[in-house]
């Protein structure tokens, strides 16, 4: 699946010749394919939300008899022809596809970084092909003024053996010989085995640093340093971005939570009849902060996907909700006893 999705992304790139635009189009395509599942999930959420008052009534009535309460809830779901899982199953089905898409994008980013690392050594650091997009100088590095636009030791250490070998095995023999001349050992496929990969990456990073201009482009600005409690951030001279995508990812994630709330499950009540605290407020802030953390440290291509996916998901949910509101309005105007399933809400 990863290779299949990566092939689609490569195919889009062959048409538009821009990875940033390719990622945007790829994300739109995937979200459109998942739209039927999103629709089913939204319909399920509405059905469960409408049952919330009856659920709360049963929970309060049979609070001291949990078994009977569960039996009565099951009877209610059967009578109303819905299930608490009706809104979850479509999302669970789509999760493997989303995970595979993440893996495909990670695979592509890793291979591009390896190609750039080899390119720096082969060109002597004077002719480095990066992948710019809008304000970002290199999509395969984080969108941040605290990260260089060129591959670094830290970014290369995150790349697994398979992705190194994919690029290495495609190199012409003369380029392999040139790379070997710049390293303290002959570069072969064995150098990328798991037990020797770390030493190979360190040697490649050292060879990159020895090229003309690399050290200057990755140097930091000491007087532009931000001291945090657990770390220290320093602006890089040849910074890669403005930190906009991580902020946009957190902002769009927050808007998704506020504008498209999950299904409204009734809150559990205590013995005093008061609603007990739930995790809603926690999750409202957890996901935006989590997306900020992920996109701040990962490559800009992934952050671009995240922001694009969030914006499309909000637009889709808005359109689906408008459509369902219209169908419900039409159904409410039908005479008693009419087949309301004909409106399309099932």
**If you ran DSSP here, which 8-state letter would residue 80 be given?**
T
Between 282 and 111, residue with greater pLDDT: 111
336 part of a folded domain: no
87/43 Cα distance (integer angstroms): 7
What is the 3-state composition of the chain as percent helix, strand, coil, each rounded to the nearest 5? 65, 5, 30
Averaged pLDDT for residues 297-309: 89
**Please, how many CA atoms are within 13 Å of residue 306, restricted to the half-sphere of its CB?**
29
Residues in the chain: 346
CB 269 within 8 A of CB 276: yes
211/218 Cα distance (integer angstroms): 12
Give per-residue pLDDT as tens, 43-97. Answer: 777 777 777 787 778 778 777 777 877 887 777 777 777 766 665 665 666 677 7
117 part of a folded domain: yes
**If you ran DSSP here, which 8-state letter would residue 28 be given?**
H
163 part of a folded domain: yes
Q: Two tokens at 305?
A: 């996907």
CB 205 within 8 A of CB 154: no
| pLDDT class of 322 with cuts at 50, 70, 90 | confident
341 part of a folded domain: no
Domain count, the chain: 1
32/27 Cα distance (integer angstroms): 9
Residue with tokens 């299904």: 263
Dihedral, 161, 1, 5, 163 alpha carbons, nearest 10? 0
Q: Could you count the other beta carbons within 10 Å of the beta carbon of residue 8?
A: 16
- Reported in sequence order, the residue ranges of 122-227 that DSSP labels E, i.e. its strands, are 220-227
- Reported in sequence order, the residue ranges of 148-279 that DSSP labels E, i.e. its strands, are 220-227, 232-236
Give per-residue pLDDT as tens, 239-272. Answer: 898 999 999 999 998 888 777 655 444 444 444 4
Give helix 2-16 / helix 19-50 axis angle, nearest 10°. 130
CB 142 within 8 A of CB 297: yes
Q: Which helix (H) or strand (E) holds 235?
A: strand 232-236
301 part of a folded domain: yes
CB 90 within 8 A of CB 38: yes
300 part of a folded domain: yes
Can you give the pLDDT at residue 66?
Answer: 78
Long-range pairs for 272-275: beta carbons < 8 A, 24 or more residues apart: 273/60
Is the whole-model pTM more than 0.85?
A: no
Query: What is the extent of the structural domain holding 212?
Result: 2-330
Burial readout 20-34 (b: 16 or more C-beta within 10 A, e: otherwise): bebbbbbbeebbeeb
31 part of a folded domain: yes
Q: Among 80-89, 172-181, 241-250, 292-301, where is mean pLDDT lowest?
A: 80-89
346 part of a folded domain: no
275/266 Cα distance (integer angstroms): 9
Q: Among 31-35, 59-63, 276-280, where is mean pLDDT lowest?
A: 276-280
CB 295 within 8 A of CB 306: yes
């Amino acid at each position: 699946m990863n290779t299949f999705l990566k092939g689609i992304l490569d195919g889009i790139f062959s048409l538009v010749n821009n990875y940033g635009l390719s990622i945007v189009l790829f994300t739109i395509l995937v979200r459109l394919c998942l739209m039927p599942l999103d629709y089913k999930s939204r319909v399920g959420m509405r059905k469960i939300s409408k049952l919330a008052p009856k659920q709360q009534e049963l929970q309060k009535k049979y609070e001291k008899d949990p078994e009977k309460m569960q039996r009565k809830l099951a009877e209610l779901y059967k009578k109303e022809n819905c299930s608490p899982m009706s809104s979850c199953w479509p999302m669970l089905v789509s999760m493997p596809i989303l995970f595979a898409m993440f893996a495909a994008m990670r695979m592509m980013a890793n291979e591009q970084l390896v190609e750039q690392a080899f390119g720096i050594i082969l060109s002597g650091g004077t002719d480095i092909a990066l992948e710019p997009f809008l304000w970002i100088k290199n999509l395969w590095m984080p969108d941040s003024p605290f990260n260089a636009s060129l591959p670094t030791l830290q970014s290369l250490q995150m790349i697994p053996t398979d992705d190194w070998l994919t690029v290495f095995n495609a190199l012409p023999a003369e380029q392999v010989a040139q790379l070997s001349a710049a390293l303290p050992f002959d570069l072969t496929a064995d150098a990328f085995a798991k037990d020797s990969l770390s030493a190979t990456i360190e040697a490649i990073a050292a060879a990159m640093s020895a090229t003309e201009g690399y050290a200057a482009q990755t140097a930091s600005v000491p007087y532009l340093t931000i001291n945090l409690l657990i770390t220290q951030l320093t602006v890089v001279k040849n910074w890669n971005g403005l930190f906009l995508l991580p902020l946009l990812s957190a902002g769009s994630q927050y808007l998704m939570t506020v504008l498209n709330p999950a299904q409204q499950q009734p809150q559990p009540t205590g013995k005093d009849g008061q609603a007990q605290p739930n995790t809603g407020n926690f999750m409202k802030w957890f996901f935006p902060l989590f997306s900020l953390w992920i996109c701040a440290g990962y490559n800009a291509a992934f952050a671009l996907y995240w922001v694009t996916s969030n914006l499309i998901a909000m637009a889709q949910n808005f359109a689906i909700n408008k459509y369902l509101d219209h169908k419900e309005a039409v159904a409410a105007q039908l005479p008693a006893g009419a087949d309301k399933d004909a409106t399309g809400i099932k």
